[in-house]
Amino acid sequence: MIKTTRILILPILILLFATQTVAVDIGMAGAVRRKTRELDTKVLDHKNATVGNTPVVVNSPVTIDEKVEALLAKMTLDEKIGQMTHPDSASLKGREEDIKTYFIGAILSGGNSDTSDNSPVSWADQYNLYQTYATQTRLAIPIIYGIDAVHGHNNVYGAVVFPHNIGLGCTNNETLVEQAAQVTAEEMTGTGINWAYAPCIAVARDERWGRTYESFGETPELVKKLGVAHIKGLQGTDLSQKPNVVACAKHYMGDGGTNQGIDQGDTVLDETSLRAIHLAGYVDAIAAGVKTIMVSYSSWNGIKMHRSQYLLTDVLKNELGFKGFVVSDWDAINQLTGPLSNQIATSINAGVDMVMMSGNYASFINTLRDLVEQGTVSQSRIDDAVRRILKVKYELGLFDNPFEDRNYLSGIGSSAHRDIARQCVRESLVLLKNNNNTLPLAKNINKIIVAGKNADDIGNQCGGWTISWQGDGGAITTGTTILQGIKNIVSTGTTVTYSVDGTGAAGSGADVGIVVIGERPYAEGTGDSETLALDTVDLTAVNNVKNAGIPVIVILVSGRPMILDTVLANASAFVAAWLPGTEGQGVAEVLFGDYNFKGKLSFSWPRSVDQLPLNSGDADYDPLFSYGYGLTYP
Ligand code: BGC
Ligand code: BGC
């Protein structure tokens, strides 16, 4: 460990004030030390000094860049490395003092790292605890705290959960997407958490990919537009004001372009196409002021993004002028070759500024310190990384306001927030078939039978990244299921019965059946699918209701287009509802005609998996439903 000492800075021509002592690294190179002195002269709050007859005005640092330089100049190597260290909250449990010991500058809670009771207050308390340790360090640099608030503040029990991005893509409504992101920022602020790993601006090109639902759509145009809206909603016009939070465009880049849609796979493309399809969103995100960018696990032509100095430094930072910081994905550097020291050196030298890790922060810190002392990672690379991180913290207003503001707690899951999510649901629904105007339904129909495993399941309609990483079926959080939404909207005289497998339809005397089928929750690679086939229980439920001789309305709750098999032919009306989140009432409002359908497909719908990848603009484009398709009521 490099020792620090407190020495007196002696600006040659300026009066010395005994209180102006500053610690500098003894081991620092001469140039760095000179810089330190220059800067510290600025820090002196000494307005009346004179040199000869000329007054020398020395200001306190005023601009953010000056503040960053002044702070950086005071930091030891260990303090700098701490800023680059981004461990998960689960690994800090019971060892929160490590924040102080190691000067940890950034914490996250991964998909499975909820607080023990997962209440908003417990998150706020945890945030404040971390911040207390951070502000007790010598330089009192607050932490930035990241979470996957990707469709609302979705880890937290009772928070509003929005449709996943694929549904927002079908709304094609940037004002609404911005509002949704604002709500997310507000709910995050209630817990203190100030950094969302969102938006995902992947352009998913093959829906076998398990992360397709995190993508707004298959074209860069749509992704750019809604990505920018999302960033604006999270960061606001003045990031230093609450409730604005830091956004993170991810996953840079080509995550949605991998061969066969394999998660974390290889995007095999020439550079012109890579730029046109996958870089475009970042150009606009940077122009919109996005403060952070997360690197993709995937590779480009066999080279892992986490080691691509060309794409991280030459293109992103130098060519595109990205001034924020680059964060690695969860334990992603450990996928690079070699021992830990190689993995760290390679990724940091490529341009990663902050390293996200499930645990093992001590080995990261010790190894990086060794690498700098040996010269394998340069002091200037460290300074560049830390400068970027500190700058974002200043821009966020963290130094002035590090603690959670209880005023925002009551907004979490509020009805005002749910109203916006409900609008997102309504506008995301895509009507793909409507024979003989089966829809809209009259509210005073005598009897309705509802069936299907996704009709009465909040967890299934939220999908992955909800409460836990993979998500889960059942009543995992508060909200309205689609079945409940239907019950809420019909006239008092209408009977609504529910039969999961649809067997209750025969002889029930129902006038119409609504069967809600689709996927169960998954996240990341777990969701990769070679078949995109519907569950046999879904096919059975549709058949059972159909066999009762009544019109069947099928609602597909899924993270992507699926192969529809016999279902489409058996349905009188067919609606793609994507992963709508907690506000199932929005589905009922459109089915029963309070609102018209507005959604248009943000993905081309394949007839079979053999057609994949299938994207608008393909030479032999022959989808079941085209990109942009969507019916409305007359
Ligand atoms: C995912 C990221 C996510 C991170 C933190 C990774 O596995 O790829 O999208 O932000 O975990 O949970
Ligand atoms: C974490 C996620 C993370 C994933 C990556 C999970 O245990 O909770 O946040 O993305 O691991 O493998």
In the reported structure, the alpha carbon of residue 112 is separated from the centroid of ligand 2 by a whole-number distance in angstroms of: 7
Work out the average pLDDT over 321-344.
98
Distance CA 621, CA 245 (A): 41
| Ligand nearest to the CA of residue 148, numbered in listed order | 1
Confidence at residue 9, expressed as pLDDT on a 0 to 100 scale: 36
Catalytic residue among 98, 329, 456, 538: 329
Least confident of 19-28, 52-61, 137-146: 19-28
In the reported structure, the alpha carbon of residue 111 is separated from the centroid of ligand 1 by a whole-number distance in angstroms of: 8
| Ligand nearest to the CA of residue 294, numbered in listed order | 1
pLDDT digits (tens, 9 = 90+) for 276-309: 999 999 999 999 999 999 999 999 999 999 999 9
Confidence at residue 27, expressed as pLDDT on a 0 to 100 scale: 31
DSSP 304-350: EGGG-HIIIIIIIIIIS---SEEE--TTGGGGSSSSHHHHHHHHHHH
**Whole-number percent of the chain with pLDDT over 70:** 91
Please give all residues whose beta carbon lies within 6 A of any atom in ligand 1, as ranges.
110-111, 148, 197, 250, 329-330, 524
Nearest CA to 476 among 465, 487, 486, 489?
465
- 147, 153, 156, 158 alpha-carbon torsion, rounded to 10°: 180
Distance CA 267, CA 206 (A): 11
Residue type, 311: L
Atom of ligand 1 nearest to the CA of 248: 10
Question: For atom 5 of ligand 1, which residue has the closest CA?
Answer: 110
Q: Where are the beta strands (DSSP E) in 500-606?
A: 512-518, 552-557, 573-576
Confidence at residue 61, expressed as pLDDT on a 0 to 100 scale: 82
In the reported structure, the alpha carbon of residue 355 is separated from the centroid of ligand 1 by a whole-number distance in angstroms of: 12
Averaged pLDDT of the chain: 92
Greatest extent of the chain over all pairs of C-alpha atoms, in Å: 104
pLDDT band for position 59 (cuts 50, 70, 90):
low
Give the phi and the psi of residue 605 in degrees, each rounded to 5. -100, 120
At residue 81, does pLDDT exceed 70? Answer: yes
The full set of domains in the chain, from first to last, is 1-60 (no CATH), 61-411 (3.20.20.300), 429-611 (3.40.50.1700)
Confidence at residue 60, expressed as pLDDT on a 0 to 100 scale: 78
534 Cβ contact partners less than 8 Å away, ≥ 6 residues apart: 517, 518, 562, 563, 564, 565, 567
pLDDT digits (tens, 9 = 90+) for 223-254: 999 999 999 999 999 999 999 999 999 999 99
In the reported structure, the alpha carbon of residue 519 is separated from the centroid of ligand 1 by a whole-number distance in angstroms of: 21
- pTM (2 d.p.): 0.91
Q: Residue 577 is encoded by which pair of tokens?
A: 């509802």
Distance CA 391, CA 380 (A): 16
Confidence at residue 565, expressed as pLDDT on a 0 to 100 scale: 86
Work out the average pLDDT over 106-110.
98
Burial class (CB in 10 A: 0-12, 13-18, 19+), 66: middle
Distance CA 264, CA 275 (A): 19
Q: Which of 91, 250, 327, 469 to mutate to test the pocket of ligand 2 (most atoms within 8 A of CB)?
A: 469
| Ligand nearest to the CA of residue 112, numbered in listed order | 2
pLDDT digits (tens, 9 = 90+) for 506-562: 999 999 999 999 999 999 999 999 999 999 999 999 999 999 999 999 999 999 999
**Whole-number percent of the chain with pLDDT over 90:** 90
At residue 338, does pLDDT exceed 60? Answer: yes
Local structure of residue 274 (DSSP, 8 states): I
Please give all residues whose beta carbon lies within 6 A of any atom in ligand 2, as ranges.
110-113, 330, 469
Q: Quick count: other Cβ atoms within 10 Å of Cβ 137?
A: 18
Nearest CA to 555 among 545, 608, 497?
545
pLDDT band for position 150 (cuts 50, 70, 90):
very high
Q: Which of 197, 215, 255, 298 to mutate to test the pocket of ligand 1 (most atoms within 8 A of CB)?
A: 197
Q: Please give the C-alpha separations between residue 238 and each of 143, 197, 232, 235, 243, in angstroms, as whole numbers.
A: 20, 19, 10, 7, 10
Question: For atom 6 of ligand 1, which residue has the closest CA?
Answer: 330
Distance CA 300, CA 310 (A): 11
Question: For atom 11 of ligand 1, which residue has the closest CA?
Answer: 330
Confidence at residue 15, expressed as pLDDT on a 0 to 100 scale: 33
Residues in the chain: 634
Give the phi and the psi of residue 157 in degrees, each rounded to 5. -60, 130
For residue 329, indicate whether it is catalytic: yes
In the reported structure, the alpha carbon of residue 294 is separated from the centroid of ligand 1 by a whole-number distance in angstroms of: 9
